[in-house]
Structures are given as C-alpha cells and as structure tokens.
Structure 1
Amino acid sequence: HKDAYQVILDGVKGGTKEKRLAAQFIPKFFKHFPELADSAINAQLDLCEDEDVSIRRQAIKELPQFATGENLPRVADILTQLLQTDDSAEFNLVNNALLSIFKMDAKGTLGGLFSQILQGEDIVRERAIKFLSTKLKTLPDEVLTKEVEELILTESKKVLEDVTGEEFVLFMKILSGLKSLQTVSGRQQLVELVAEQADLEQTFSPSDPDCVDRLLQCTRQAVPLFSKNVHSTRFVTYFCEQVLPNLSTLTTPVEGLDIQLEVLKLLAEMSSFCGDMEKLETNLRKLFDKLLEYMPLPPEEAENGENAGNEEPKLQFSYVECLLYSFHQLGRKLPDFLTAKLNAEKLKDFKIRLQYFARGLQVYIRQLRLALQGKTGEALKTEENKIKVVALKITNNINVLIKDLFHIPPSYKSTVTLSWKPVQKVEIGQKRTSEDTSSGSPPKKSPGGPKRDARQIYNPPSGKYSSNLSNFNYERSLQGK
C-alpha cells in the first residue's frame, strides 16, 4: 500500500482537515515504509511548523513514533530545535517527547541534544542546556547507566571549552548530579574541571570585572565538592598568592556586592579542606598581614587619658571572622608560625591588636545579648533582630578563635561553624562544647540565679588598651557590615 501512504504524505499540502489526519497517520504507518522514511519525517516536520497551533501540537506529540534505529538522533535533533517555541503547551509537548525518546535510547537522544548545544542557535542552546539540568535527575537509573553518564561528561567537556557564567553553573549542576561522579574520584574530576575553567594557571587581574567574576563563579561551584579527601589546596593557594594582595582593588560587575567580603567568605569555607601546601609559611604570612589590616591598633592616649584621635577605629567583625578562621585552619599545619616564624616586634604588635580587638568584642557581645534577651519567635524575625542574631554568631566565633591564639603556645583545637553556614544539629548523647558559637539566641540564665558561666566569655588580660572601650557602640559598628 505504498501508493496509499504516499497520498497520506501528500496530505500535508492540503487543507486543515487533511493536515490533521496526516499528522496522525504518517507516524502510525511509518514503520511499514522504511524506503519512505526521509519523506515521512520531512512531512511531519512541515506539520510541526504549521501556522495552525492545533496541527503543530498534534504533529509534535507524535514525533517519538519516528524515533526508531538510526532515525532517533535526527528526531532528537528536531525536538531540541523545537524547544525554541514560545507556546507553553507546545513547549511541554516537546519536553515530554524528548523524555520519552530518552527512555528508548539515551545515547542517541544525547547526540541530538549536544549537537544543538554545540552548533544550534542561542535560544535552542540555552533551552537544551536547561532541559538537561532539570530533566536528567528525573530519569530512572536504568536509563542513566554508567556509559550514558560517561557520554554526558565527555560531551559536557566539549561545551565547557566555551561557555557563559550561567551556562557553566548549569553544567556543574548537571555533572554534580550524576551518580558516577558522587565518588571521591568523581568529585576530584569535577574540581579539576572547575580549576581549568577558573584559569588558575594565569595571573589574576583584579581590575578586570570579568576575570574576578569568573573566579568567584568557579570557586562557588568548587566549594561544595571539597572534603577531607578532595582538597581545596589549588584554590586556597591561588587566593592567598594572587587575590589577597589585591583585595582592595577588586572590581565586580555585580551591583551592590561586597566583593572583598565575598572573597574572604569563600577563602574561609575552602580553608577547612586545604591539603599540604608547598609555600605554606609564605601564604600564612600573606594571610597574617591581611588580618592585621582589619585588626587596628588602639588609639593613642593624650596626657589626660582621653583619646588623642577624634574617633575610635572601626572594628570590621565580618572580615575578621573570615580571616581569623582561615588563619586558624591553615595555622594548624604550621602551629609554630606565630612563635617561631615571626620576629618579636611583629608578634608584640599582633598581641596588642588582638587584645584591643578582644576587649571591643566583649563589650559588643554583652550589648548584643542584652538587646536580644527575652526575645523569641516572631520578635527575632524582625530585620533589626536578624542582624543582631547574625552579629552574635560572628562575634562568638571570633571570641573562640582569639581565645585559641592567646594560648601559650597558640592552640588550634577549637571548632566553630561559620556564621553564614547552617548550624549542625547536636546528636543526642553528643557532648556540647562549653562555647556554643552557633547559637543566635541569648544565653539562658541558670535556675540558681544570674550567675554567668565563666567559660562563656573569654576576658583577655586587662591593660591600658581597654580603657577607651566602655563607650563602644554596637549599633554604629553594624553599619554596612
């Protein structure tokens, strides 16, 4: 009945009713006429581009029936191109059709998708990438076999040679969701991919917003991959050697972003998973010098004991938390850095700054606790109190870290949760540390009276540097931080 099928194919040139019938019958009898395969697919494709939306939808819906054998990659390619439709019903039909042929032949479907990602128009490329990032995770394990995942990784590497920032983020989402890359070696592969994308072999250009943005985008993707087995050493080294010395000159295309704080936060998060570093002492010194910039010397006193200057130095707690934490993490690898690697004058200067900062910190913590005392539930959800709760987390963290550095010799044993990270729940039976650095609520009074737990606040040695801190105002110090 070849002639009869040819009449059906010719129906695409007829009126609306003929086209609707053709849209149904061309795919229905397609498998019986392999010698007319090209003509049939082209005829159905004409219907997919018809002016009548109902004909287009019917034709798209039936496309998976053409996905047999060597025709499947071509159907996948056609469906991928059809993702550019602005009609929401058509778009859903295309998505469903792609998913259905994915389950028939994942490799063939991926061939069509990646062909368009690499060579298609911008809108098709964009939507094909989004399709992969949202739909792959919905596919069953028997579809996403190890071989299929290897093909996704291979093809993704080709695309990653030339991607925008947004596309890179989506591809990292796609790849990090693959079960074959959930292993230590898999995550290590992903870190190497990100490092390559970040261009860590090149000299950093702080005045180039695109260069800065690329480094931040890449580092954000790398951070969740780091662990005790997958080290962050390359990134931490690059930040210490290339970024920290240029912190004050960083530029960013993102309006309103505190780029310096963003960099310091990323460094802090990565420092926990840093492995053996070649130039550890040199990089610790860079970190140390940057920390000194944010830990001011106390103001000089006039003869009458008043401040000689007009105003006290600003204590930038958010920056100090990040730098102290990073220094604390890397310092564990060279515990005698402060005592054996610094000259006496530098060490004395550091202790003076540390003492002055610690004194201001105690006043700040007391004022914050007083302001939050008795507040629970909805009261803690106001914008002002949210800021105070975060500020209390930050200052508690700094308090613990400074206490470690005041030890003789310095200790690096304490563990804190960075103020912007989710709090780790304590398991039943697990001993809680004496200093809960993650709690945002004020300390509860003991039932025996107002006696304070002596371990809650560390009081460094008193001295002349503490005399001007009684009027320290935490409201002023919160501005912009």
Structure 2
Amino acid sequence: MADATDDIDKLYEFGERLNDAKDKSEHRQDYEGIIAAANGSVKAKQLAAQLIPKFVKFFPELAEQALDQHLNLIEDHELGVRVQAIRGLPLFCKDTPEQLTKIVDILGQLLIAGENVERDAVHKALMTVLRQDVKTSLTALFKHIGSIEDQSAEDFSTWDSIRKKVLLFLRDKVFPLKTELLVPQELMERHITTLVKQNLQDVTAAEFKMFMDFLKSLSLFGHKAPAERIQELVEIIEGQADLDAQFNVSDADHIQRFISCLSMTFPFFQKGCIRAQSSSTI
C-alpha cells in the first residue's frame, strides 16, 4: 500500500515539475518516470493515462515509447484505466498531425468496446480528432469499411464487427453533423463522396441505401445540382445494381439490392434527369 502511495506521490511530483518548467524538454527524466509509472497500481495507471498524452509533444524522441505504453493502458483489465486512456488518445495527434491516421485507426478498432462508458469515450475521442482534421480522419475511418476480399478467414469476424460499428458511428454521429464537419463544404462533400464510392463493393442493400440517402442530402447533389451530378448518383446506383451480372433468383440480398436500386432511380426518371443510356439500362 505504501509503495502504491509513493508511486502516486512521485507522479504528482513529475507532473508538477513539468507543469512549472519553462523548457519542459529539459525534464526528460520526469517524463520517463511518468511512462514507467503506467506499470504501477490502478490509481497510478489512471494518473499516468492523463499525464502521458498531456506532455508527449515536448518529447518527440519518446513519442513511440509513450504511445506503446498508453496502448497498454487501453488494454488494461480495469475499466477506469481504459476509459481514461481512451480520453487521452486525441492529444497524441493534436500537435503531431502525422500521428492522426494511426490514432483514428486505433479508435475505430475500439468502437467494439463492450462497456457503454468505454464506447462513449471512444465516440467523443473520435469526434475530437474529426474536428482536428476531418479529411484525414474520414479517410482513416473508411479504411475499416473496405473489401471483404482483403480479410483473412481468422480475422474476418473481428473485422466485420469493427466495420459494422464504424458504419453505425458514421450514420449516427458523423452524417447528422455534416454541415458542421464538412468544411469547406464543396471540397469536403466531394471528398466524402469519393470515399463512399470507393467502399461500396461489399455493402448490403440497407447499407447502400444509408449511403445513398446521405449523398442525396449533400448540397453537392441537392435540388439545385446540375444534371451531371444527378447523373453521377444514377451511375452509382447502376454500379450497385450490377446489371451485367447474371441474375440469381436464389440470392436474397442480390434481389433486395436490385429492387432497392430500382426504387432509388424512380425519382430521377420523374425529374427527367437521367440520360438515355441510363434509362435504357435500368
């Protein structure tokens, strides 16, 4: 018990010296002490989870070691330690943008966390990094949606669980805030449209409808959009319908996707927005 108290007292000392120092980089030994303390008691781990990301920017030569230790805290058996460590992750890329893709990738994997408070911490951390750099963050998140063919059999179950959680996060947290997050508007709406188009290979009918509803909500494809942009949407639907493939009546998802694609094109027919090639195809 005395050793645990001593560890916490030392952590407070390290933190206070770093807080007060004008040139924090001269206190490398204190920061190394904070990293080492992450192997201590539960309370020491929780305090280290606050201090490691807080001061990491002043010690770039220790950044990799600090992140590795912090990731150990994220895998700790104590929920309070994990939550505190998750909350600190955005600080690792706040002043070092080259780390942002890695942090988003880690947070994306953590979306499958089982405890509500843990998942909530992941959601908030992801929203923080999205607001730091929405373009890079979205690109990293969409990598979790990619092709099934890229996954090995033993990794498929975990990958599929993460993929579904990422899709839910995009639908529930990102898409409703598109006006706030997608800035500058035209540039970022085009970027997320490209990301969606690149990741439609293995979506279900319901997932495809979710993406199409989102794209149609963008100003890029709004009621004032030129005909060529509406045509772009129609071509996305055509590609998903896979009209050149042999129709398999025993494939329920294929049928559902085909019917869904047909229903999506009707409004465009009514508006007369589809070129002759598209109307003859569908």
Q: Does the pair score TM above 0.5?
A: yes
Which gives a bigger RCO, structure 1 or 2 (Cα 8 Å, sep 6+)? 2
Residue equivalent to 2:239: 196
- SS across alignment from 1:38: helix
* 1:220-266 residue CA offsets vs partner (Å, 9 max, x unmatched): 33345554242386676566xxxxxxxxxxxxxxxxxxxxxxxxxxx
Residue equivalent to 2:263: 220
Whole-angstrom distance in 1 between the partners of 2:243 and 2:215: 21
Residue equivalent to 2:86: 60
Checking the alignment, whether the CA contact within 8 Å between 1:27 and 1:66 is kept in structure 2 is: yes
Whole-angstrom distance in 1 between the partners of 2:279 and 2:191: 31
Checking the alignment, whether the CA contact within 8 Å between 1:23 and 1:58 is kept in structure 2 is: yes
Whole-angstrom distance in 2 between the partners of 1:136 and 1:144: 13
Distance 1:133 1:220, change over 3 A: farther
Whole-angstrom distance in 2 between the partners of 1:226 and 1:72: 43
User: Under a length normalisation based on structure 2, what TM-score does the superposition of the two structures give?
Assistant: 0.76
Q: Which runs of 5+ in 2 are unaligned?
A: 1-26, 151-157
Alpha-carbon distance, 1:111 to partner: 2.5
Do residues 86 (structure 1) and 114 (structure 2) align? yes
* 1:266-317 residue CA offsets vs partner (Å, 9 max, x unmatched): xxxxxxxxxxxxxxxxxxxxxxxxxxxxxxxxxxxxxxxxxxxxxxxxxxxx
Residue equivalent to 1:252: none
Alpha-carbon distance, 1:107 to partner: 1.4
Distance 1:173 1:47, change over 3 A: farther
Alpha-carbon distance, 1:154 to partner: 2.0
Whole-angstrom distance in 2 between the partners of 1:208 and 1:102: 38
Checking the alignment, whether the CA contact within 8 Å between 1:117 and 1:159 is kept in structure 2 is: yes
Match of 2:59 among 16, 33, 46: 33
Which AA in structure 2 matches 1:189? E
Match of 2:201 among 138, 145, 161: 161
Q: Which has the larger radius of gyration?
A: 1
User: Under a length normalisation based on structure 1, what TM-score does the superposition of the two structures give?
Assistant: 0.46
Residue equivalent to 1:326: none
- SS across alignment from 2:67: helix
Q: Which runs of 5+ in 1 are unaligned?
A: 240-481
**Count of residues in Structure 1 that have an aligned counterpart in Structure 2:** 239
Give the percent of matched residue pairs that are identical in Structure 1 and Structure 2. 36
Alpha-carbon distance, 1:72 to partner: 0.9
Match of 2:102 among 62, 74, 79: 74
Do residues 127 (structure 1) and 155 (structure 2) align? no
- SS across alignment from 1:56: helix
Checking the alignment, whether the CA contact within 8 Å between 1:60 and 1:94 is kept in structure 2 is: yes
1:317-466 maps to which residues of 2 (within 5 A)? none
Residue equivalent to 1:327: none
Alpha-carbon distance, 1:30 to partner: 1.4
Whole-angstrom distance in 2 between the partners of 1:143 and 1:38: 31
Checking the alignment, whether the CA contact within 8 Å between 2:54 and 2:91 is kept in structure 1 is: yes
Checking the alignment, whether the CA contact within 8 Å between 2:231 and 2:275 is kept in structure 1 is: no
Checking the alignment, whether the CA contact within 8 Å between 1:30 and 1:66 is kept in structure 2 is: yes
Which AA in structure 2 matches 1:190? L
Could you say what the CA RMSD is over the residues aligned between the two structures, in angstroms? 2.4
- SS across alignment from 2:191: helix
Checking the alignment, whether the CA contact within 8 Å between 2:238 and 2:261 is kept in structure 1 is: yes
Structure having the larger proportion of residues in helix: 2
Residue equivalent to 1:474: none
Distance 1:29 1:237, change over 3 A: same
Residue equivalent to 1:170: 210
Checking the alignment, whether the CA contact within 8 Å between 2:134 and 2:181 is kept in structure 1 is: no
Match of 2:136 among 101, 108, 112: 108
Distance 1:142 1:202, change over 3 A: closer
Distance 1:216 1:123, change over 3 A: same
Do residues 46 (structure 1) and 72 (structure 2) align? yes
Which AA in structure 2 matches 1:49? E
